[in-house]
Structure 1
Amino acid sequence: MAASYRLVIGNKNWSSWSLRPWLAMRRAGLAFEEINVRLRRPDSKAEILKHSPSGLVPTLIDGDLVIWDSLSILEYLAEQHPDKQLWPAERDARARARSIAAEMHSGFVPLRQSCPMEVLARAPMPEFSSEVAANVGRIVALWRDCRTRFGNNGPFLFSSFSVADAMYAPVASRFRTYFPDLGPFGDDGTAQTYVETIFAMPEMAEWEDGARAQMATAD
């Protein structure tokens, strides 16, 4: 199938926002051309601006239409491809999925600032702020609630893979890197199992392989 989309992303080891639509598109089987802009270089901003008016990644290009921001991209894809069921079909589940996706999009700043995504790193964090601990605890509780209420028919937050899983995949990476034991944050095993579910996806293995290849050729 010829690619009808172009997805502009950053480095796979670091770019958490790029991972979100990339993962959803791969999981849904949507063909796209991947345009990778190396971040943390003097010309990174200029290269991104060739594709994105925001100067940020990711950006989805569909013909003459440019969509930026991960959540906007995911919403657009869900509208364009309703058969892929990127949001849960049931009303209550869909409302909860949108709520937790939006909370991830706008929240958890202490965790994001103190624990940047590094897919290939393993760096358990023995000390962290109370704000970071509160963020981790909140996410652990969110995952447990979603899995308990809506996850009885599959391994993901709402049983089948959805936008919510795409939004929290970078958090699963952060937990694997910095907090391999989630017990101190109130986990009863649900969150740890969910992290393992995310990384058991072949699409995540593909992303990790891409990160390794990029790091091996980094200047």
Structure 2
Amino acid sequence: MSLRRHSVAIAALTLALAAPAPLAAGVPAVTESRGEGAGASGAEADTRRPEAGTTAGALAAALGLRSLQETDSRSTAAWGWPLVGRPEVVNAYDPPAQRWLAGHRGIDLRGVEGEPVLAVDAGVVSFSGEIAGVGIVSVSHASGLRSTYQPVEDRVGRGTRVARGQRLGLLGPGARGHCPPHACLHLGARRGDTYVDPTPLLQDLELSLLPVEDG
């Protein structure tokens, strides 16, 4: 990514985050969004700013620093990153020995409260709501996999068709995530009822074309 493109992207992000809008009030333990109206289509750009305590300038600076790690090279990664750039993995996938035991059925990515949460691949939002006070979005993909994101605020509605990299919502506060008090995004992956490690799906494997040797 060139310096000019990076500067334009950060300037646009700062302007987008500067427009104030209130966050939704508290909701019941399990609440699902149905995706009605233009705001739920996911087609229009969101202009809401993060919660109080995180300035638009600070958020733009943090995302800009992370986006410097992006490249324009071709990749065979099945999934794109659900946060801008290449976020740090702070907690790895650690499944339990038995399905009924406690474990970590996903990975946690370091983030900034209020930053956009992005779809890892094209699909349809199969769940958008809250469970036990935590905002969750699940997307079903044509591959048969389902990706899950939490905590997510200002979510798109259930039934919304999303493209790879499209905004699903905003990253919620650290107190509602897996890394309190710091903000992080928990990303899960399932095939049917089986949890799988999302890490290999995110690995950026560069395409290397080797020259053909004579003889």
Q: Which bracket does the TM-score occupy, shorter chain normalised?
A: under 0.3
More helix by share: 1
Q: TM-score, normalised by structure 2?
A: 0.25
Q: TM-score, normalised by structure 1?
A: 0.25
Report the structure number with the largest CA radius of gyration.
2
More strand by share: 2
